[in-house]
Amino acid sequence: MSTRQFGARVQRNEDARLITGRGRFVDDLPLDGVLHGAFARSAVARGRITHLDTTAARALPGVHRVYTHADLGELDVTMPLLIPHPCIGHPRTQYPLAHEDVYHVGQAIAFVVADDRYIAEDAARLIEIDYDILPVEVDPAKAALDGAPLVHEDVPNNIAAHLVQVSGDPDAAFAAADHVTRIQVRVDRSTAAPMECLSTAARWDAVSGELTVWDGTQAPIGLRGALSSLFDLDEDKVRVVAPDVGGGFGPKIVFPYSNEILVPFAAKDLRRPVKWVEDRSENFVHMTHERTQIHDIELAATSDGVVLGLRDTFLHDTGSFIPYGIAVAQVASTQIAGPYRIPAIHVTFDCVYTPTVPVTPYRGCGRPQANFAIERAMDQLAAELGIDRFEIRRRNFITPDEFPYTRPDLVFADGLPVTLDSGRYDDALAALEKALDLDAIRAEQEQARAEGRMLGLGLSFYVEGTGLGPYEGAKIRLHPITGKAYVNTGLTAQGQGHETAWAQIVADQIGVRPEDVIVVEGDTGVFDWGVATFASRAAVVSGNAVHIAAVSARARIAQAAANMLEADPDDIELADGRAFVRGTTSRGVTLAEVATMSNPLRYAFNKAAQTATQFAPTARSTGKPLPDGERPGIEVSEYYSPPHATWAYGVHAALVEVDPVTCDIDVKRYVCVHDCGNMINPMIVEGQVAGGVAQGMGGAFYEKLEYDENGVLRNASFMDFLVPYATEVPHIEMIHLETPSPLNPLGIKGVGEAGTIPVGQVIASAVEDALSPLGTPPVRQVPLSPSAIHDLLRQARVNV
Amino acid sequence: MKPPCYEYVAPDTLAGALRVRAESEDSVVLAGGQSLVPTLNFRLANPDTVIDLRRVAELATIDTRDGMIRVGAMTRQRTLERNDAVLARNPLIRETMEYIAHPVIRNRGTVGGSVAHADPASELPCLLTLLDGELTARSSAGARTIPAAEFFEFVFTTALEPEELLVEVAFPVLEPGEGWAFREFARRHGDFAVAGAGATLLLDDAGRIARARLAACGVATTPVRLRAAEEALRGVEPGSEAFRAAGELARDAVTTVDDTAASADYRRHLLSGLVNDVLTRAAARAGGPR
Amino acid sequence: MNGNHGTNHLDAEPVDGDTRYGPDDRIAISLTVNGEKVEAAVSPRLLLSDFLRGDLGLTGTHVGCEHGVCGACTVHLDGVPARSCLTMAVQVDGMEVRTVEGLAGSDGTLHPVQRAFRECHGLQCGFCTPGFLMAVTHLVENEELAETDDGVRAQLAGNLCRCTGYMGIVAATRRAAAEIASKG
Ligand SMILES: Cc1cc2nc3c(=O)[nH]c(=O)nc-3n(C[C@H](O)[C@H](O)[C@H](O)COP(=O)(O)OP(=O)(O)OC[C@H]3O[C@@H](n4cnc5c(N)ncnc54)[C@H](O)[C@@H]3O)c2cc1C
Ligand code: FES
Ligand code: FES
């Protein structure tokens, strides 16, 4: 195969089924005799259940069982804290079904299993639940104050975790500074809102003692581990399959959710397949949220804008429980200095319990908040020192010759100090300036201002630690009948196109078309070593594992073909599904033949097999059919473990105009320069970036979960929580830089979250620029609704 | 999110429907279902009886004779919006209806359903309020006509009695030379309006404003006429000064409090800007006899 | 899926205008789905989306919100797009329903819109895709495509996609429209 597939815009293998309605999402699986579940959920935020009666629900025709915590036996335990950390002084996780206490609206209290979902919902409504309602405080800043109502009675000030990190000598830096700037910023709560909500189906096979669970998860192997442990089953008796999954974006990495326990439990108990599909109204109060952080950040700088030190103290709202540990806060804290050299950092955070849906990573995972804090502060510093916003960033960039650049004692989510591997930050900024045509924009802005229009430019530079370990693996097997390659990894995809990207990597090594590489993932039945899909790690960690496996498969194929062709393995070339001796095209064999011949067979079940039986003339040899140390067939498994995170980066800018009547923001241009190292498939990368920016737009303008003072979510529907349509997302101009990561064979860095991270700051910075002639106060919070913009304008006492 | 249990009737005549309506304790009408079904799916409504009007052909009519555009309650929104005879007699109807949700919703949603549902942010109730439209309600006992000004009573609440059906919605045509405009702002395309405003403007021979009509949606518990602004415009020279002043007078019409969509302060600001805008555009369209 | 809402009620009769049906009654409906005649008996509260997915096994039609906002459940009713989550199965008695499974030709030839979505990377997870395909098919076959990017985006509003950021979908819509226009 002459054209390299790596780096090409290869169309996706997964599309064929998805565009014809043949996708297989959990709710699409035809499970014979399946029963349907529905949960009864808490209607109050913090309360004590005084009365729980399921009699009427159980009596409803069509209802098979109603479970409360008392029915769960061994499973009635609090769920694991998935990522422990010594700084979590008061870890709390929830029960599958609430005991007496409820901690947030939506917490699962009972589970109904019925003939269909309609009846299950009817029954759930018949469950009588009375509560003693306890006082609540949903604002994390107030919840951390003395005297605030406590979410967990024994957790003082609602502080779940507290961490201080010091890198370099911040005190000295602040003492040496000419200028210190301070700002408090806030990013509000949001939710990933994948188009497919959570979903679980399970079947218990009483004959084999096997439990099969189909689940819309990002972490089938992790869930398999949790379920075998909870249900006390051998790992090989539990198979977790994540079939097609309709978007993940983070919350589907968390496990086990109540449904992931109750559905298999009921299937086992009732000896019938059981299914539960979260509906949209449940999704808002059940699937985990992210984002609320309040940062108080200070920068110490010289008068020419070189930042010497940074102090950041922030509150992180972790909701009512902390199942995923401090991941979000930790990632925020380690990315707080962005692309800047800043040699001295003091960062402290408190994770605060509030009586709300628990908080775990959502695309960006703390980085949007950290980016908002550092970049808002950089804008403010620039303004105070009278330095251009582009220039002040340039003065602080880590330069290419400084890599690898370590921030001592700032420990990233992989347990290692932050070490940025590579980058050309200056080039990225220059590329942005060129694409924008800054001079023209400034002229346009001047003109607009003269006409009384509010036109502004904003930018944000971000870095993103991606590709976390510990490891991933890949198995490649060449099929003897078709000659197609089968690839398995321990990951799962929710739209990222693994079936294509992995195929490209394999195709390059073994000389087949990408469509002849069949990737099957997300099934612990086919491959069960690995971690999960999160933290923009799939391409980096699995991609490299697939590459290493493909190299190894290539070597085995070449060796086998060399044996068959009586040639030197070094002279074997693989292309077009064949192996042949270099320089000839006639002396060759197909990969199907190679696969067939490398497996000495006893049975001639078809024509190809005939040639491989131990009695066939070609196979006859004096030695053993399978020499010592050899394996049958072409099958390899390899693993890749990254030394530490790879650091992708980029810079986005937007030109916006604020409408004086509607206070709406028109994004006239949106430009994105990004560098995720080498790209496997630019088409897929662009899709990831565009999707990320769209979610960023949601976070910048529209998407804010609003709890009222009683802890009830006021906008728990798509009518009121505004996920953008095409009309609310701008066209994105995209510029790719490719600086290979030195850390892995393919030179790639992750890109899954990149698009989302900088958008809040880009918009805030642009709006601030647009409004600045009016003397508005600085923008310190996203999302920026029209009401918020109106408020800024009003504060400027502009008569609008 | 599945609908609750209910009894279901799909009468084939209006008379039959009225009979069921009279017999039912607590009935709702399944017209286009675009508001009712979400309400059922969320189980916010739990009616005893659902009366499906899809088979009552006599309610799906449009009659443009005389000075009124008479629209049967079961006429699909998209059908009214796309009717050329309607456009010729009252172009404001189309301009306004394009703001209702998305075409896919308007394909199913009915004119009567939108009006009977009486969401205060809805466009059609606002338009009827603006144009002094009329609603015809019917029960087994007979029919009555209700002026728009008396029809919309509160959020999701109208003057319809439980045993009545809304059968016809009548939109007056515009006067020759009457200018018109509608505009709203929703944060996301097709959503219910944060606020919207409609205007008609009739000039006298001297080019002064003989009659201005203004109405708003999304700002109160019902659509509202902006009477103070209308009064202030009478006899005045049309122009930016007058229109800005009218916008200022409109602010007081906002009685909704802060909600997740908008602050009350912002709504006031928005409404005044929208009023200014629709008046400006209506003035540009106003002129001699059409 | 909806066991006792399903089709196993052979005694069900077509709807009668004077009958008051209880929640456990079944009403016979007769319709065409992707060109094939379908007879079924449905509960009065069964949503069309659940009928298609559960009773007919046409799981291509997805359900993303069940309140009309996301568009994943969009199908054509008598040639016109509609939300199947906001339509009762009884309401489509006598109608022609087209779903994503009916887009490709009977020989498997993809509809130009389907091809364009693949070529322009108009999908990632594919969950929203059936709804978009139905909306865009109607758009390019029956309406005039807007000239500007903003205009096309307005025509696509009404369907949510959480993955793509819409860039690929806009491009796919243009490509499909151009192909259909070039064929007259
Ligand atoms: C995503 C989405 C966005 C929307 N955006 C908008 C928008 O921006 N603006 C807007 O105005 N609407 C909007 N709607 C609502 C839509 O216009 C509905 O079609 C309309 O509100 C109801 O009309 P319907 O025919 O669907 O009525 P149904 O939903 O069938 O009925 C609605 C209510 O009216 C009653 N009713 C219906 N017909 C009669 C009758 N003849 N006599 C007595 N009572 C009757 C019913 O009992 C029921 O309570 C939106 C809907 C959705 C799903
Ligand atoms: S599922 Fe029907 S519109 Fe979302
Ligand atoms: S492709 Fe995933 S929601 Fe659109």
Q: Is the pLDDT of residue B190 over 90?
A: yes
Any idea what the CATH number is for the domain that residue B28 is in?
3.30.43.10
Is the pLDDT at A700 greater than 60? The verdict is yes
Please answer yes or no on whether B6 and C74 come within 8 Å at the CB atom.
no
Q: Residue A617: its pLDDT value, please?
A: 61
Residue B261 Cα to ligand 2 middle (Å): 21
Question: By CA distance, what is B258's nearest residue in A?
Answer: A787
Residue A476 scores a pLDDT above 70? yes
**Cα distances (Å, whole numbers) of residue A606 to A348, A481, A578, A599:** 68, 9, 20, 14
What CA–CA distance (Å, rounded) separates A687 from B144? 58
B32 Cβ closer than 6 Å to some ligand 1 atom: yes
Ligand 2 binding site (Cβ under 6 Å of any ligand atom): C 63-66, 68-73, 83, 85
Count of CB atoms situated within 10 Å of the CB of B79: 17
Tell me, rounded to whole angstroms, the distance of Cα A224 from its chain centroid: 19
Which helix (H) or strand (E) segment is C42 a member of?
strand C36-42
Q: Residue B279 pLDDT > 60, yes or no? A: yes
Nearest residue to A759 (alpha-carbon basis) of A295, A207, A368, A224:
A368
Over the stretch A205-249, which tens digit does the pLDDT of each residue have? 999 999 999 999 999 999 999 999 999 999 999 999 999 999 999
Structure tokens at A365: 């995972």
Assess whether the C-beta atom of B71 lies below 6 angstroms from ligand 1. no
A469-640 under CATH 3.30.365.10, yes or no: yes
C-alpha closest to that of B182 among B69, B290, B100, B86:
B100
Q: B28 is in which domain, residue-wise?
A: 7-52
Q: Using beta carbons and an 8 Å cutoff, which residues of C are at the interface with B? A: 15, 17-23, 25, 27, 44-45, 47, 50, 66-68, 71, 74, 77, 80-83, 85-88, 90-91, 135, 154, 157-158
On whether both B82 and B154 belong to a single domain, the answer is: yes
Q: Nearest by CB to B54, from C47, C83, C91: name it.
A: C91
Q: Which residues of C touch B103 (CB under 8 A)?
A: 81, 158
* pLDDT classification of B290: cutoffs 50, 70, 90: very low
DSSP3 helix / strand / coil % (chain A, rounded to 5): 30, 25, 40
Mean pLDDT of C162-175: 98
Place of tokens 């069940």: C66
Residues of chain A with CATH 3.30.365.10: 421-458+647-800, 469-640
Up-side HSE of residue A2: CA atoms within 13 Å toward CB? 0
CB contact under 8 A, B103 and C45: no
Task: Indicate yes or no: CB of C45 within 8 angstroms of CB of B6.
Answer: yes
d(CA A645, CA B183): 51
Q: Which of A11, A116, A279 sits opposite C66 (nearest CB)?
A: A279
Instruction: Yes or no: say if C173 and C116 are a contact pair by the CB < 8 Å rule.
Output: yes
Q: Say if residue B277's pLDDT is above 70.
A: yes
User: Are residues B151 and B195 both part of a single domain?
Assistant: no
Ligand nearest the Cα of residue A19 is 3
pLDDT band at B120 (very low <50, low <70, confident <90, very high): very high
Å from CA of C88 to ligand 1 middle: 15
CB atoms within 10 A of CB B184: 25
Residues of B with Cβ-Cβ distance to A712 under 8 angstroms: none
A69 has pLDDT over 60: yes
CA of C160, nearest ligand number:
3
Q: Which amino acid is at B49?
A: T
Element (H, E) at A285: helix A280-286
AA letter at B267: R
Rounded distance between C-alpha atoms, residue A464 and residue A332, angstroms: 10
Contacts of A195 (CB under 8 A, 6+ apart): A246, A247, C62, C64, C70, C72, C125, C127, C128, C160, C161, C162, C163
Place of tokens 């408020």: A791
Angle at the Cα of B7 from the Cα atoms of C92 and C15, rounded to 5 degrees? 40
Alpha carbon of A20 to those of C48, C101, C159: distances in Å? 19, 6, 18
Beta bridge partners of B146: B135
- Residue C43 C-alpha to ligand 2 middle, in angstroms? 20
Q: Which of residues 138-167 of C touch A (CB under 8 A)?
A: 149-150, 152-154, 156-167
* CA separation for the pair A717, A724 (Å, rounded): 13
Whether B194 and B259 share a structural domain:
yes
Closest CA relative to residue A83, chosen from A255, A215, A238: A255
Distance CA A139, CA A355 (A): 10
What is d(CA A80, CA A302) in angstroms, rounded to the nearest whole number? 47
Which residue among C45, C47, C81 places its CB closest to the CB of B104? Answer: C81
Share of chain A above pLDDT 90, in %: 88
Token pair of B60 as six digits: 């799906």
Going by pLDDT thresholds of 50, 70 and 90, the confidence category of residue A699 is: very high
Give the separation between CA C105 and CA C109, rounded to whole angstroms.
5
Residue B1 is assigned to a structural domain of this protein: no
pLDDT band for position B3 (cuts 50, 70, 90): very high
Are B93 and B144 in the same domain? yes
- Give residues with Cβ within 8 angstroms of A663, minimum separation 6: A786, A787, A789, A790, A793, B266, B269, B270
Of A110, A121, A95, A98, nearest to A36 by C-alpha is A121
Would you state the structure tokens that stand for residue B179, as one six-digit string?
């200018």
Tens-place pLDDT, residues A614-665:
666 655 566 777 888 888 899 999 999 999 999 999 999 999 999 999 999 9
**CB–CB contact A495 C100 (8 Å):** no
DSSP 8-state secondary structure symbol assigned to residue C98: E
Q: Grade residue A533 by pLDDT with cuts at 50, 70 and 90.
A: confident
Kindly state the tokens that stand for C101. 């499974």
- Distance from C-alpha of A623 to C-alpha of A391, rounded to nearest angstrom: 73
CATH of the domain at B190: 3.30.390.50
Residue to substitute in B50, B61, B97, B105 for testing ligand 1 pocket (most ligand atoms within 8 angstroms of CB): B105
Q: Are residues B77 and B136 in the same domain?
A: yes
Structure tokens at C42: 């449905």
Q: How far apart are CA C81 and CA C169, in angstroms?
A: 18
- Do β-strands B165-172 and B134-139 pair in parallel, antiparallel, or remain unpaired? antiparallel
A426 interface with B at CB cutoff 8 Å: no
CATH number for region C9-99: 3.10.20.30
Of ligand 1's listed atoms, the one at least distance from the Cα of B31 is 30
Of B75, B79, B73, the closest CA to residue B143 belongs to B73
pLDDT by residue (tens digit) across B9-40? 999 999 999 999 999 999 999 999 999 999 99
pLDDT for the residue A613: 75
For residues A153 and A287, give the distance between their C-alpha atoms in angstroms, rounded to a whole number: 24
Provide, as residue numbers in chain B, all residues whose Cβ is less than 8 Å from the Cβ of C27: 8
User: Which atom from ligand 2 is nearest to the alpha carbon of C65?
Assistant: 4
The C-alpha R_g of chain B, in whole angstroms, comes to 19
Looking at residue A631, its pLDDT comes to: 87
Q: What is the pLDDT of residue A623?
A: 73
Q: At A371, give phi and psi (nearest 5°).
A: -60, -40
Pocket of ligand 1 contains residue B159 by CB under 6 Å: no
Q: How far apart are CA A232 and CA A220, in angstroms?
A: 17
How many Å lie between the alpha carbon of B20 and the closest alpha carbon of chain A? 26
pTM: 0.96
**Residue that the structure tokens 């530079």 belong to:** A461
**B2 belongs to a structural domain:** no
A381-434 pLDDT, tens digit per residue, is 999 999 999 999 999 999 999 999 999 999 998 889 999 999 999 999 999 999
pLDDT band at C50 (very low <50, low <70, confident <90, very high): very high
Q: How far is ligand 3, taken at its centre, from the CA of residue A723, in Å?
A: 13
Same domain, B186 and B279: yes
Instruction: Tell me whether residues B30 and C18 touch, CB distance under 8 A.
Output: no
How is C102-114 classified by DSSP, letter by letter?
GTS-TT-PPPHHH
Answer with the one of B17, B37, B52 that is the final residue of a domain: B52
- What is the Cα–Cα distance from A223 to C25, expressed in whole angstroms? 42
Q: State how far the Cα of A416 lies from the Cα of A421, in Å rounded to an integer.
A: 13
Q: How confident is the model at residue B123 (pLDDT cuts 50, 70, 90)?
A: very high
Mutate to test the interface with B, among A661, A665, A701, A794 (most CBs of B within 10 A): A661
Asked, colleague to colleague, whether C9-99 and C112-183 share their fold, the answer is no
Instruction: Report, as an integer, the average pLDDT of A672-698.
Output: 95
ipTM of this predicted complex? 0.96
Handedness of CA B19, B25, B29, B30 (dihedral sign): negative
Which pLDDT score is estimated for A610? Answer: 77
Rounded mean pLDDT of chain C?
94
Which CATH architecture group holds C112-183?
A: Orthogonal Bundle (1.10)
Residue C7 has pLDDT above 50, yes or no: no
**What SS3 class is residue A439?**
helix
Closest chain B CA to residue C154: B189
pLDDT tens readout for residues A32-44: 999 999 999 999 9
Atom of ligand 3 nearest to the CA of A495: 2
Cα(B28)–Cα(B49) distance, integer angstroms = 6
Nearest CA in chain A to C61: A21
Label each residue of A630-642 as H, E or C: CCCCCEEEEEECC
pLDDT value of position A1: 42
Contact, B246 vs B181, CB < 8 A?
Answer: no
How do the domains of chain C map onto residue ranges?
9-99, 112-183
Task: Return the amino acid letter for A494.
Answer: Q
Helix/strand/coil (H, E, C) string of chain B? CCCCCCEEECCCCHHHHHHHHHHCCCEEEECCCCCHHHHHHCCCCCCCEEEECCCCHHHCCEECCCCEEEEECCCEHHHHHCCHHHHHHCHHHHHHHCCCCCHHHHCCCEHHHHHHHCCCCCHHHHHHHHHCCEEEEEECCEEEEEEHHHHEEECCEECCCCCCEEEEEEEECCCCCCEEEEEEECCCCCCCCCEEEEEEEEECCCCCEEEEEEEEECCCCCCEECHHHHHHHCCCCCCHHHHHHHHHHHHHHCCCCCCCCCCHHHHHHHHHHHHHHHHHHHHHHCCCCC
Q: Quick check: CB of C157 below 6 Å from ligand 1?
A: no
What does pLDDT average to over chain B?
A: 96
Percent of chain B with pLDDT over 90: 96
Report the distance separating Cα A50 and Cα B92, nearest Å. 57
CA B122 / ligand 1 centre spacing (Å)? 9
Contacts of B189 in chain A (CB under 8 A): 725, 727-728
Q: What is the pLDDT of residues A290-316, one digit of tens each?
A: 999 999 999 999 999 999 999 999 999
Same domain, B61 and B79: yes
What is the Cα–Cα distance from A77 to A95, expressed in whole angstroms? 6
Indicate the number of domains in chain B: 3
SS3 C170: helix
Q: Judge: domain A421-458+647-800, CATH 3.30.365.10.
A: yes
> Mutating which of C15, C16, C132, C155 best tests the B interface, going by the most B Cβ atoms within 10 A?
C15
DSSP state of A11: P
